[in-house]
Amino acid sequence: MATIIYSGHQEDGAPHTEGVAFMLTSESRRAMISWEPINSRIIIARFRTRHQKITAHIIWCYAVTNASSEEDKDDFYHALTEIVDKAKEKDLIMIVGGYNAKIGGNNRGYEQVMGKHGLGAMN
């Protein structure tokens, strides 16, 4: 049976425009050391690895868009930076999620890192 851990709007009538979650198998749940809801856009889970001295930190994000206020963008990236800075040097850090990237079909100059099947104009 899967376990869900969630960070997001909890209020009644909330618009549910933000929120992040992990869905864990029973095996991953047993390996989980802790989890922490940072805000409605960031959640972190820490897992044991086969190496006793290394912890895997998985940070799940739902980034703000370019249309967001500068304050919201700064708050998001400041929170993300604080989490990464707190990890020990030997720990494994994975930052995953939705970064609201918009990429277009023209990949000239970016062929090594970007495909050419995007829609619209690159930002």
**R_g (Cα) of the chain, nearest Å:** 17
At 40 the pLDDT is: 84
Q: How far apart are CA 60 and CA 39, in angstroms?
A: 11
- The predicted model scores a pTM of 0.73
At 24 the pLDDT is: 87
Q: Which parts of the chain have pLDDT scores under 50? A: none
At 122 the pLDDT is: 64
Q: How far apart are CA 27 and CA 30, in angstroms?
A: 5
At 75 the pLDDT is: 93
Q: Which fold has domain 3-98?
A: Deoxyribonuclease I; Chain A (3.60.10)
In degrees and rounded to multiples of 5, residue 75 shows phi and psi of -60, -45
Strands (E), the chain: 3-8, 19-24, 32-39, 42-48, 55-62, 92-98
Cα 74 to Cα 28, 44, 83, 85, distances in angstroms: 32, 19, 14, 16
At 119 the pLDDT is: 65
Beta-carbon contacts of 84 under 8 Å, excluding residues fewer than 6 positions away, are: 59, 93, 95
Q: Which two tokens stand for residue 1?
A: 């049976």
Q: How far apart are CA 45 and CA 68, in angstroms?
A: 26
